[in-house]
Amino acid sequence: MRELDLAGWGKRIPGLLSKYRYVLLVILAGVLLLLLPGGEEKESVPTSGAGVTASLDTTAELEHKLEQALSQIEGAGEVTVVLSVEAGTKQIWAEDRKSEVDAQSRSEEESTVVLSRGSGSEEAVPVQQISPRFRGALVVCSGGGDPEVRLSLVEAVSALTGLGSDKISICNGK
């Protein structure tokens, strides 16, 4: 066998470092980016239930955000927003399906894919989140009688919800 020549490697390392310094810098930057935290942890999702669940909180939160934003429009005053939802927010979970075919029968088993964390906690694996579909919007504000304010409100609600102007009603409030 051939012995390791540590003295030879000691002389070659500085030459290799200077030759491949940019490659090593890119690798080092990649490793540092991998070690950075990924941001806030998301709440764990309940694992029970069907493959599709609906969330009612999203509509109330969106109404509140719309009220805050629309009240900032000049001349609108205090704003109240009511959104009519055709279909709420849905989350589709990953499912594992097993099919077995015997000579006489056929069986299919479904189960939700669950990601296990090191601390013993488990959470379902989401595949897709479907945004809510709105049916219409009602906006009540003290400046609702002014045509310019009405136009601004309709454009803002339309931009945020995807509704057409025929589905948005602006009323003059107290």
CB contact at 8 A, 114 and 132: no
Pick the CATH number of 52-90+130-172 from 3.40.50.2020, 3.40.50.2300, 3.30.300.30, 3.30.1600.10: 3.30.300.30
| Sequence-ordered list of residues with C-beta below 8 angstroms from that of 70, at least 6 positions apart, any chain | 76, 79, 81, 139, 141, 153, 156, 157
pLDDT of residue 19: 84
- Do the Cβ atoms of 91 and 128 come closer than 8 Å? yes
pLDDT at res. 173:
85
Lowest-pLDDT choice from 18-27, 57-66, 97-106: 97-106
Q: Is 63 left (phi over 0), alpha (psi -120 to 50) or beta?
A: alpha
Question: Could you tell me which residue, 86 or 116, shows the higher pLDDT?
Answer: 86
pTM of the shown model: 0.48
Q: Tell me the pLDDT tens digit for each residue of 9-28.
A: 777 877 877 888 888 888 88
Q: The tokens of 152 are what?
A: 């601004």
State the pLDDT at residue 122: 62
Query: pLDDT band at residue 35, thresholds of 50, 70 and 90?
Result: confident
